[in-house]
Homo-oligomer: A and B are copies of this chain.
Amino acid sequence: MPQTAYLPHIAYDSVVFGFSEGDLKILIMEYHNTGLFALPGGFVRLQENLNDAVLRGLNERTGLTNIYLEQFYTFGDFSRFDPEVMRTLLEANGILPADGYEWMLDRFISVAYYALINYEDVRPRPDALSDSCEWYPVNELPELILDHQHIVEKAIQTLRDNLDRKLVGGNLLPKKFTMNELQNVYEAILGTKLRRTTFQRKMLAAEVLTRHEKHFSGKAHMAPYLYSFK
């Protein structure tokens, strides 16, 4: 990452949501030899679109290409500025700031995005600076650097606000899913239980679902239909 390759002072952070075992989860990086946890983020190349930079970073970490991505806020408080954190990350990777990395110790304004992906499609991959990239339930996050906890909270709040308006919950599931699975996603996002009949009626009335064949799970009860988003 030499100085000339990226726009200085500008970063992005991404809150990558997945759904598994009944929990809403997000991808968190743990940096090599530091015990520091952070959202996966990155920088923008000099001639690159901001949105493309985020998609590139997500692709590098998840291998996915068609990602549901939404920009939700830009964090620009001066109090975000804490060069010691970045210095620690660089040193843990054997990098001296003087070797062309001084710009990473500057103040950054960060554009935050959230992504919704199908948990099963991802094998998280660490990037060059990181030790591990793992899923954590949103209610059991480790302590995060800088204002990243705040970014996560705002991401969840925005996702909740957009849930009914944009009907995006399906992006957290495989192509085909049952009505019960979809309801579980909604409940995990909203943090509340929903009524089965009311939920089903609302989803069907919205006319965004296509009904497919039944799914036989081997359980001793009526088999549910599979659905997909139109």
A residues in contact (CB < 8 Å) with B: 7-10, 44, 46-51, 71, 73-79, 107, 109, 111, 161, 165
Contacts and interface: CB of A to CB of B under 8 A. Distances in A.
Nearest to A79: B49
A167 to B, nearest CB: 15
B77 A109 contact: no
Nearest to A48: B78
Nearest to A106: B7
Contact of A71 (B9, B47, B49, B73): B73
A96 to B, nearest CB: 24
Contact of A76 (B46, B50, B76, B77): B50
Given A9-B8, A9-B10, A78 B47 contact: yes
Nearest to A50: B76
B8 A76 contact: no
A109 B78 contact: no
B9 A111 contact: no
Contacts of A73: 71
- How many copies of this chain are found per oligomer? 2
Contacts of A79: 49
Nearest to A75: B50
Contacts of A48: 78
Contacts of A47: 78
A13 B78 CA distance: 19
A79 to B, nearest CB: 8
A51 B76 contact: yes
Contacts of A109: 7, 10, 44, 50, 111
B111 A74 contact: yes
Nearest to A51: B76
B78 A49 contact: yes
